[in-house]
Chains A and B, each alone.
Chain A
Amino acid sequence: MKIKHLRSKWLGLIPLSLILFLSGCGEMTVLNPKGPVAESQYELIKYSLWFMLGIIVVVFSLFAYMIIKYREGRPGRKESDYDPNLHGNTTIEIIWTIIPLIIVAMLSFPTVTTLFDLEKAPEPEDGQEAKEPLVVHATTADWKWFFSYPEQGIETVNYLHIPTDRPIEFRLTSADAMTALWIPALGGQKYNMAGMQTKLFLQADEEGVYDGRNSNFNGEGFAAQTFKVHAESEKQFEAWAEQIQNEAPALTAEKYDELLKPGLTDKDSFSSTHLEYINHASKEGMGYVVENYRDLFKEKLHLDDIEQQETFQ
Chain B
Amino acid sequence: MHITDILVTGEPIIYAAMVSIALVSIAILFLLTYFKKWGWLWREWLTTVDHKKIGIMYILSALAMLFRGGMDAMMMRVQLAFPDLGFLDSQHYNEIFTTHGTIMIIFMAMPFLIGLMNIIVPLQIGARDFAFPYVNALSFWSFFFGAMLFNVSFIIGGSPDAGWTSYTPLSGAAMSEGPGQNFYLMGLQLSGIGTLATGINLMVTILKMRAPGMKLFHMPIFTWSTLVTCFIIVFAFPILTVALALLTIDRIFGAQFFTLTGEGLPMMWANLFWMWGHPEVYIVILPAFGIFSEIIATFAKKRLFGYNAMVWSMIIIALLSFLVWVHHFFTMGAGAFVNSVFSVSTMLIAVPTGVKIFNWLATLYKSKIEFSVAMMWALAFIPSFILGGVTGVMLGMAAADYQFHNSYFLVAHFHYVLIAGTVFACFAGLVYWYPKMFGHKMNERIGKWAFWLFFFGFHVCFFPQYFLGLDGMPRRLFITNIVEWLPLNIISTVGAFGMGLGFAVFVFNIYYSFRNSEREETGDSWNGNGRTLEWATTTPIPYYNFATVPYVDEIDPYVRMKEEGKTTYDESKLEPIHMPSYTGAPFIMMAFLALGSFGLIFEWMIVAIAGLIGGVIMMILRSFDYDEGYHVEVDEIKRIERKARGL
Q: Give the B-binding residues of A (Cβ under 8 A).
A: 3, 6, 10, 13-14, 17, 21, 24-25, 27-31, 38, 40-41, 44-45, 48-49, 52, 55-56, 59-60, 62-63, 66-67, 70-72, 81-89, 92-93, 96-97, 100-101, 103-104, 107-108, 111-112, 114-116, 118-119, 142, 172, 176-178, 180, 182, 184-185, 187-191, 193-196, 198-199, 211, 213, 215-223, 286-287, 289-291, 294, 297-298, 300, 302-304, 306-307
Q: Which of B138-146, B401-409, B615-623 contacts A (4 or more CB under 8 A)?
A: B401-409
Closest chain-A Cβ to B368's Cβ sits at a distance in Å of: 5
Closest chain-A Cβ to B289's Cβ sits at a distance in Å of: 16
Query: Provided the pairs A52-B390, A115-B340, A116-B336 are in contact, do residues A219 and B350 lie with their beta carbons within 8 angstroms?
Result: no
Whether A190 pairs with B333 at a CB distance below 8 angstroms is: yes
In the assembled complex, which residues on chain A have CB atoms less than 8 Å from the CB atom of B370? 72
Whether B405 pairs with A188 at a CB distance below 8 angstroms is: yes
Contact with A along B291-323 (1 / 0, CB 8 A): 000000000111111111100000000000000
Whether B402 pairs with A41 at a CB distance below 8 angstroms is: yes
* Residue of A44, A104, A142 touching B344 (CB-CB under 8 A): A104
Closest chain-A Cβ to B258's Cβ sits at a distance in Å of: 11
Closest chain-B Cβ to A54's Cβ sits at a distance in Å of: 10
Whether B339 pairs with A198 at a CB distance below 8 angstroms is: no
Closest chain-A Cβ to B408's Cβ sits at a distance in Å of: 11
Task: Give CA–CA (A188, B339) in the complex, Å.
Answer: 14
Please name 12 further chain A to chain B contacts, defined as beta carbons within 8 Å, in addition to the given A30-B471, A104-B350, A196-B333, sorted by A numbering.
Answer: A44-B399, A45-B400, A70-B300, A71-B371, A85-B303, A97-B351, A104-B351, A188-B404, A191-B329, A194-B266, A215-B405, A222-B478
Closest chain-B Cβ to A187's Cβ sits at a distance in Å of: 7
Query: Provided the pairs A6-B452, A30-B471, A187-B402 are in contact, do residues A92 and B170 lie with their beta carbons within 8 angstroms?
Result: no
Whether A300 pairs with B401 at a CB distance below 8 angstroms is: no
Interface residues on B, range: 35 or more
Q: Give the A-binding residues of B (Cβ under 8 A).
A: 83, 89-91, 94, 161-163, 167, 169-170, 174-178, 259-262, 264, 266-267, 300-309, 329, 331-333, 335-336, 339-340, 343-344, 347-348, 350-351, 354-355, 357-359, 361-362, 364-371, 379, 382-383, 386-387, 390-391, 393-394, 397-407, 452, 455-456, 459, 463-464, 466-467, 469-472, 474-479, 481, 484
In the assembled complex, which residues on chain A have CB atoms less than 8 Å from the CB atom of B89? 302-304, 306
Query: Provided the pairs A70-B369, A188-B331, A219-B175 are in contact, do residues A111 and B343 lie with their beta carbons within 8 angstroms?
Result: yes
Q: Which 7 A-B pairs have the closest CB atoms?
A: A188-B402, A198-B333, A287-B261, A66-B364, A114-B399, A184-B472, A52-B390
Whether A66 pairs with B331 at a CB distance below 8 angstroms is: no
Task: Give CA–CA (A193, B354) in the complex, Å.
Answer: 37
Which single residue of chain B is at the shortest CB-CB distance from A44?
B400
Task: Give CA–CA (A305, B576) in the complex, Å.
Answer: 73
Query: Provided the pairs A87-B307, A97-B351, A220-B90 are in contact, do residues A28 and B169 lie with their beta carbons within 8 angstroms?
Result: no
Closest chain-A Cβ to B475's Cβ sits at a distance in Å of: 7
Task: Give CA–CA (A25, B331) in the complex, Å.
Answer: 25
Closest chain-A Cβ to B452's Cβ sits at a distance in Å of: 7
Interface hub of A10, A189, A218 (most chain B Cβ within 10 A):
A189
Task: Give CA–CA (A287, B307) in the complex, Å.
Answer: 56
Task: Give CA–CA (A97, B484) in the complex, Å.
Answer: 42
Query: Provided the pairs A67-B369, A191-B329, A222-B476 are in contact, do residues A215 and B260 lie with their beta carbons within 8 angstroms?
Result: no
* Residue of B176, B336, B405 touching A119 (CB-CB under 8 A): B336
Task: Give CA–CA (A38, B308) in the complex, Å.
Answer: 44
Task: Give CA–CA (A217, B477) in the complex, Å.
Answer: 8
In the assembled complex, which residues on chain A have CB atoms less than 8 Å from the CB atom of B365? 66, 70, 86
Whether B336 pairs with A100 at a CB distance below 8 angstroms is: no
Closest chain-A Cβ to B310's Cβ sits at a distance in Å of: 10
In the assembled complex, which residues on chain B have CB atoms less than 8 Å from the CB atom of A184? 403, 471-472
Whether B343 pairs with A70 at a CB distance below 8 angstroms is: no
Task: Give CA–CA (A208, B167) in the complex, Å.
Answer: 35
Whether A72 pairs with B368 at a CB distance below 8 angstroms is: yes
Whether B170 pairs with A300 at a CB distance below 8 angstroms is: no
Whether A215 pairs with B382 at a CB distance below 8 angstroms is: no
In the assembled complex, which residues on chain A have CB atoms less than 8 Å from the CB atom of B484? 27
Interface hub of A6, A108, A185, A289 (most chain B Cβ within 10 A):
A108
* Residue of B175, B307, B368, B464 touching A176 (CB-CB under 8 A): B175
Closest chain-A Cβ to B380's Cβ sits at a distance in Å of: 8
